[in-house]
């Protein structure tokens, strides 16, 4: 221990062990009450803001059925039998009074071939009953395979795809709407983690609010599709930059005994928001107004981002013990609790500490971007030198990547188990998430994180493999297996949102959380390739891949320690001592004997 503490001072860092122990005791005595209300509200509002951006493309960018015809109203494309509702026999002339029956969503090679008379292999369809209003709804597209388009507006009045006619030759532009968000989310998760650890949880939330406001305004008023895509990238950045720090703030201001219940129940706000978003979409059928309605929580998040208290843990770790002590004293007064005399004295000492500036910060101003990049790479590799932290990094990124594949992949591959109504589909997704969280919460409190994450991943993987052996005629059995797997993965996702911040120390908590989230985003990008490309190779490939992913993820869980009802680690030293304590307990050694074997921590903590 003596060597470790000397390394702290050698690198210009104060010894925070006593201060952080004081913080843990102070949070325990402060309890959970009125002081945490602003943190709870802003966490809930951020989670309610996320669905319109994360899963909003389901309603904002939907492409309804459509029908093409040659330009100038010369005639309708009838080169093939419509695959929607009506299946007329050959050489039968039909008087159509309901144009919706003939939205076949078909594109054609060219307008010349399409406008020719039908051959003996096609249907002879006439539109004698077409109303004048329907005729006026035909719009020019500039596409050779669909010069004029008529889109079904019975479900959606306006979507991004409808507004810019992202069909036929332009259909490849439609997935870019969701991909732009995913790319922005990766950038935001990484940047938000760095800002949250460097400048504080509160500052990261404030910056993200400004970016999100710019993104929403950009999408609502942009007359060009590239402008909408650019705004979608910004929305991904803002949500990624906002969720991680706000969840870290919620956990760091919660006493250990309340952390499991608070962390799990706060996640239900996302599920409820998904259901509310489906209801808003049913009432508001125009995508720009729906985007504004879904972004309404931003009106609450923005003022709270300036009123909420900064994390005392982060302040103390930054050497700002005076501010941390003042905040905790205010917290005790708000929660109407009387701190013990010893703790009051310790907080008074904490408030009298001088702010110790880190010499490295003044030196970085003179560094070139190449030197900064090399320094950043050195910092990353420095974390991998510590065995416990290295196992956490490897396991959390692997698990989040695999659960990202499973969560989105099951949803994409299970559309035949849901209603054709998109609003019911979105509402069902939120309902399943909510049920999963409510079931997992008491189990998480009693059995811990490792049991839930490892067990749910293993069972979900096995169920997806069993699904391959169920005959097609027993569809209800397949439905139960797939939906149960989705519920289990949803539970894993929520538990991991609380588990990962508990695994990483305060000094790099947001960055560790961001790394795991980045891996999950890569999983989201991988899932469509599995469901669309791999599914074309062989029928069992998708189920086998998803089942194997669940089982592989469960094998990574034993690499992680249990964190249920345990204090949050504040330094890398705490993480290493936790691992050494577990090893010592297994081998019958004392923690003091094991601590002598640890490497110096100072350089990595400074990173």
pLDDT digits over 376-385, tens only? 666 667 777 8
Q: What percent of the chain has pLDDT over 90?
A: 20
Rounded Cα distance, 217 and 212, in Å: 9
Q: Are 463 and 477 contacting, i.e. CB atoms less than 8 angstroms apart?
A: no
Residue 414 has pLDDT above 60, yes or no: no
Counted residue by residue, the chain has a size of 607
Q: pLDDT confidence of 448, banded at 50, 70, 90?
A: confident
Q: In this predicted structure, what is the pLDDT of residue 9?
A: 38
Residue 416 has pLDDT above 50, yes or no: no
Q: In this predicted structure, what is the pLDDT of residue 300?
A: 92
547-585 pLDDT per residue, tens: 999 999 999 999 999 888 787 787 888 888 877 766 666
Q: Which residues pair with 158 in a beta bridge?
A: 286
Q: In this predicted structure, what is the pLDDT of residue 366?
A: 53
Question: How much is the average pLDDT of 451-455?
Answer: 92
Residue 158 has pLDDT above 50, yes or no: yes
Q: Are 251 and 498 contacting, i.e. CB atoms less than 8 angstroms apart?
A: yes
Question: How much is the average pLDDT of 487-508?
Answer: 86
Of 6-20, 316-330, 374-388, 444-458, highest mean pLDDT: 444-458
Q: In this predicted structure, what is the pLDDT of residue 133?
A: 42
Record the tokens describing residue 58, joined without a space. Answer: 């389901």
Q: In this predicted structure, what is the pLDDT of residue 169?
A: 83
62 CB neighbour count, 10 Å cutoff: 17
Residue (of 460, 497, 500, 453) closest to 482 by Cα position: 460
Residue 596 has pLDDT above 60, yes or no: no
Is the pLDDT higher at 80 or at 220? Answer: 220
**Ramachandran sector of residue 146 (left: φ over 0; alpha: ψ -120 to 50; beta: rest):** beta
Q: pTM (2 decimals)?
A: 0.72
Q: In this predicted structure, what is the pLDDT of residue 470?
A: 86
Q: Are 42 and 301 contacting, i.e. CB atoms less than 8 angstroms apart?
A: yes
* Mean of pLDDT over the chain: 76
What is the H or E stretch that residue 150 is in? strand 148-151
26-44 pLDDT per residue, tens: 777 778 888 889 999 999 9
Residue 372 has pLDDT above 80, yes or no: no
Residue 121 has pLDDT above 50, yes or no: no
Q: Which residues of 95-126 are buried (b: 16+ CB within 10 A; e: fewer)?
A: ebeebeebbbbbbbeebeebbeeeeeeebebe
Residue 450 has pLDDT above 80, yes or no: yes
Q: In this predicted structure, what is the pLDDT of residue 528?
A: 72
Record the tokens describing residue 251, joined without a space. Answer: 């956990």
Rounded Cα distance, 558 and 571, in Å: 22
Domain 386-570 has CATH 3.40.50.2000: no
Q: pLDDT confidence of 160, banded at 50, 70, 90?
A: very high
Q: In this predicted structure, what is the pLDDT of residue 555?
A: 95
Q: pLDDT confidence of 597, banded at 50, 70, 90?
A: very low
Question: How much is the average pLDDT of 272-290?
Answer: 92
Q: pLDDT confidence of 194, banded at 50, 70, 90?
A: confident
Lowest mean pLDDT segment, chosen from 70-74, 282-286, 328-332, 564-568: 70-74
Residue 237 has pLDDT above 70, yes or no: yes
Of 446-455, 471-480, 562-571, highest mean pLDDT: 446-455
CATH 1.20.1250.20 domain range(s) in the chain:
386-570
């Amino acid at each position: 221990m003596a060597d470790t503490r000397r390394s702290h001072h050698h690198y210009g860092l104060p010894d925070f062990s006593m201060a952080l122990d004081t913080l843990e005791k102070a949070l325990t005595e402060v309890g959970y009450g009125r002081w945490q209300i602003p943190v709870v509200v802003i966490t809930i509002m951020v989670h309610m803001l996320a669905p319109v951006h994360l899963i909003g493309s389901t309603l904002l960018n939907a492409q309804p059925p459509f029908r093409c015809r040659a330009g100038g109203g010369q005639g309708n494309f009838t080169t093939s039998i419509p695959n929607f509702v009506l299946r007329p026999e050959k050489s039968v002339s039909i008087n159509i009074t309901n144009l919706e029956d003939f939205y076949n969503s078909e594109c054609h090679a060219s307008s010349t071939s399409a406008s020719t008379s039908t051959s003996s292999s096609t249907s002879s369809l006439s539109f004698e009953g077409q109303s004048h209003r329907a005729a006026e709804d035909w719009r020019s597209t500039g596409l050779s395979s669909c010069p004029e388009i008529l889109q079904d507006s019975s479900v959606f009045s306006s979507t991004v795809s409808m507004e810019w006619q992202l069909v036929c030759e332009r259909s490849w532009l439609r997935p870019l709407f969701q991909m732009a968000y995913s790319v922005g989310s990766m950038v935001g998760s990484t940047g938000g983690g760095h800002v949250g650890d460097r400048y504080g949880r509160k500052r990261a939330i404030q910056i993200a609010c400004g970016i999100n406001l710019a993104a929403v305004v950009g999408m609502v008023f942009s007359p060009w599709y590239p402008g909408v895509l650019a705004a979608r990238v910004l929305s991904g950045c803002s949500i990624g930059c906002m969720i991680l720090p706000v969840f870290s703030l919620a956990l760091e201001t919660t006493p250990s005994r309340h952390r499991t219940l608070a962390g799990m129940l706060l996640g239900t706000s996302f599920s409820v928001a998904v259901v509310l978003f489906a209801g808003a979409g049913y009432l508001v059928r125009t995508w720009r107004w729906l985007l504004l309605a879904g972004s309404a929580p931003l009106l609450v998040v923005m003022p709270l981002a300036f009123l909420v208290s900064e994390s005392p843990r982060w302040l103390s770790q930054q050497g700002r013990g005076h501010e941390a002590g003042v905040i905790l004293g205010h917290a005790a007064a708000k929660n109407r609790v009387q701190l013990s005399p010893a703790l009051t004295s310790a907080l008074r000492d904490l408030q009298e500490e001088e702010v110790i500036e880190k010499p490295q910060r003044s030196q970085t101003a003179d560094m070139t971007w190449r030197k900064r990049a090399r320094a950043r790479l050195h910092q990353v590799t420095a974390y991998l030198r510590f065995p416990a932290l290295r196992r956490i990094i490897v396991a959390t990124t692997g698990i989040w990547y695999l659960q990202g594949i499973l969560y989105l992949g099951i949803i994409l591959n299970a559309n035949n188990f849901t209603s054709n109504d998109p609003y019911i589909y979105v509402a069902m997704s939120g309902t399943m998430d909510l049920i999963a969280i409510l079931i997992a919460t008491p189990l998480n409190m009693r059995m811990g994180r490792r049991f839930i994450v490892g067990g749910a991943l293993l069972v979900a993987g096995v169920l997806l493999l069993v699904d391959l052996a169920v005959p097609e005629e027993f569809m209800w059995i397949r439905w139960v297996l797939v939906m149960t797997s989705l519920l289990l993965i949803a539970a894993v996702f929520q538990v991991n949102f609380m588990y990962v911040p508990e695994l990483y120390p305060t000094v790099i908590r947001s960055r560790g959380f961001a790394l795991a989230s980045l891996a999950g985003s890569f999983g989201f990008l991988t899932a469509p390739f599995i469901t669309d490309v791999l599914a074309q190779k062989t029928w069992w490939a998708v189920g086998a891949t998803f089942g194997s992913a669940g089982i592989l993820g469960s094998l990574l869980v034993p690499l992680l320690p249990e964190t249920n009802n345990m204090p949050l680690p504040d330094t890398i030293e705490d993480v290493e001592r936790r691992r050494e304590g577990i090893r010592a307990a297994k081998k019958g050694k004392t923690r003091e004997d094991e601590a002598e074997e640890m490497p110096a921590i100072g350089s990595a903590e400074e990173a």
